[in-house]
Amino acid sequence: MKESKVNHTRFNLWVWRRLPHCSDMVKVITESMDTKISWRQWVRLKIHLLSCDPCVNFIKQLKFIRTVLSRSDVPLAMEDPTATLSEDARIRMKNALAASQAE
C-alpha cells in the first residue's frame, strides 16, 4: 500500500477537524466533474485536497476512467448487451446500498 504524502501538521489536523469527511467530499468531487460547483464548495474542496491524499488519488482515478472510456472505439452500452448481474450480486449491492443509507 502506498504511504501517504500528507504530514500530520497543525494545518492538516485543523482541516480534518473542521471540514467535512471524505465521504462527503467525494460527492462534491463527482458533482464538480459534471457541473459547476459553488465557490464555497470549490474552496472547501481545494483546502481538503491539500491535506488528503486519498481524495487526490480518487480524482486521478476518476479522470483516468473518464479518459479511457472517452477513447473507447465501441460505446460502453454496445460492448455486450446480454451481460447481466447475477442474482447474488444484485442482492449484495442492494444490501450495501441499504446499509450505507442507514448510516
All structural domains of the chain with their residue ranges: 1-72
Q: What is the pLDDT of residue 97?
A: 86
The segments of the chain whose pLDDT lies below 50 read: 1-2
**Residue written as grid cell 485536497:** 49
Distance CA 17, CA 35 (A): 28
Averaged pLDDT score across all residues of the chain: 81
Predicted TM-score of the model (pTM):
0.59
Sign of CA dihedral 41, 44, 47, 49: negative
Q: What is the pLDDT of residue 69?
A: 80
Q: Give the contacts of 6 (CB within 8 A, at least 6 positions apart).
A: 12, 51, 52, 53
